[in-house]
């Protein structure tokens, strides 16, 4: 762990140079493949940044080392934006930032979201804290992305706000067991209480017979965000909205499969099928 910052730098470079193969077959890769080359490469670099800081937050090592690694990202981004040059961490981001006017505060917001996971394992936050977390780790990424996609300023922030939250809430519901292995539980405390679940122990919560009631409150909120994102995307230029609409289609299908599957253990893994990846491309890309 002592060399974590150096290891993260190397990993970030490796992810940046091979981002598309790493994402190949994923909904992210599929959505980005329909972009023009410059936009596609910029998204791969943003993806590499997100993967790097997310890996820091999820590392099982010392909290202080993870904080230092995230702070290194913050310092190097400040150096880049102040015109003092690139570092190994930020080399791949220099061109996307210059080409698409990406904002420093959005990169910082993503790092702040990772700090929330590092500071303490999130366990049954209230709705306000969950919303802040979703804004930082998902909607902030959306704000970077819509600038690359070319969504206009009147619609871009709203699209990022709603779609980011919809995607993150879907991820939360999909990854219940995976998060629990790290001691994390993102289902809000109000949702658990409304379902009559008093415990905040991850094992007890995930084994509780009323878990589905709590999860459906999250699912319903995600559905509302998907609906709002769709309404905003219809006001955007068609070319600029293609990738976000594709991501929304794939993740909305995942959400509905999760609802159909239910929440009782053992929970079967839910991932996008090939047809769920291809059909939105046909529907949004060609028709």
pLDDT tens digit string along 216-239? 999 999 999 999 999 999 999 999
- CB-hemisphere CA count at 13 Å for 21? 5
Tell me the average pLDDT across 132-151. Answer: 97
Tell me the average pLDDT across 135-150. Answer: 97
Tell me the average pLDDT across 67-71. Answer: 97
Better-predicted residue by pLDDT, 24 or 180: 180
Confirm whether 1-120 and 121-287 share one CATH topology: yes
User: What is the chain's length?
Assistant: 287
Flag whether pLDDT at 20 surpasses 80.
no
Asked, as a colleague might, if the bond just before 266 is cis with ω within 30 of 0, I would say yes
pTM score above 0.75: yes
Q: How confident is the model at residue 271 (pLDDT cuts 50, 70, 90)?
A: confident
> What is the C-alpha end-to-end distance of the chain, expressed in Å?
51
How far apart (Å, rounded) are the C-alpha atoms in residues 225 and 219?
A: 10
How far apart (Å, rounded) are the C-alpha atoms in residues 204 and 201?
A: 5
1-120 CATH pick, 3.40.50.2000, 3.40.50.10860, 1.10.600.10, 3.20.10.10: 1.10.600.10
Which two three-digit tokens encode residue 65? 């080392």
Flag whether pLDDT at 29 surpasses 90.
no
* CATH placement of domain 121-287: 1.10.600.10
In the chain, domain spans: 1-120, 121-287
Tell me the average pLDDT across 82-109. Answer: 97
């Amino acid at each position: 762990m002592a060399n974590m910052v150096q290891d993260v730098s190397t990993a970030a470079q490796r992810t940046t140079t091979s981002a598309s193969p790493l994402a190949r077959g994923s909904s992210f890769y599929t959505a980005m493949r329909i972009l023009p080359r410059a936009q596609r490469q910029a998204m791969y670099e943003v993806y590499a940044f997100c993967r790097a800081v997310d890996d820091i937050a999820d590392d099982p090592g010392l909290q202080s080392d993870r904080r230092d690694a995230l702070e290194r990202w913050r310092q190097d981004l400040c150096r880049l934006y102040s015109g003092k040059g690139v570092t190994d961490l930020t080399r791949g981001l220099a061109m996307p930032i210059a080409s698409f006017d990406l904002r420093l505060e959005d990169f910082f917001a993503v790092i702040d979201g990772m700090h929330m996971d590092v500071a303490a394992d999130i366990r049954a936050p209230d709705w306000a804290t969950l919303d802040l977390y979703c804004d930082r780790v998902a909607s902030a990424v959306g704000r970077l992305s819509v600038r690359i996609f070319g969504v206009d300023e009147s619609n871009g922030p709203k699209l990022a706000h709603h779609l980011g939250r919809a995607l993150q809430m879907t991820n939360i519901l999909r990854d219940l067991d995976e998060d629990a292995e790290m001691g994390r539980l993102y289902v809000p405390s109000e949702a658990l209480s409304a379902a009559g679940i008093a415990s905040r122990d991850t094992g007890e919560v995930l084994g509780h017979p009323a878990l589905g009631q709590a999860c459906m409150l999250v699912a319903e909120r995600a559905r509302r965000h998907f609906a709002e994102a769709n309404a905003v995307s219809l006001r955007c230029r068609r070319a600029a909205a293609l990738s976000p609409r594709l991501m929304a289609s794939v993740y909305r299908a995942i959400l509905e499969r999760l609802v159909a599957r239910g929440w009782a253990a053992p929970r079967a893994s839910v991932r996008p099928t090939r047809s769920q990846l291809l059909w939105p491309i046909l529907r949004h890309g060609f028709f």
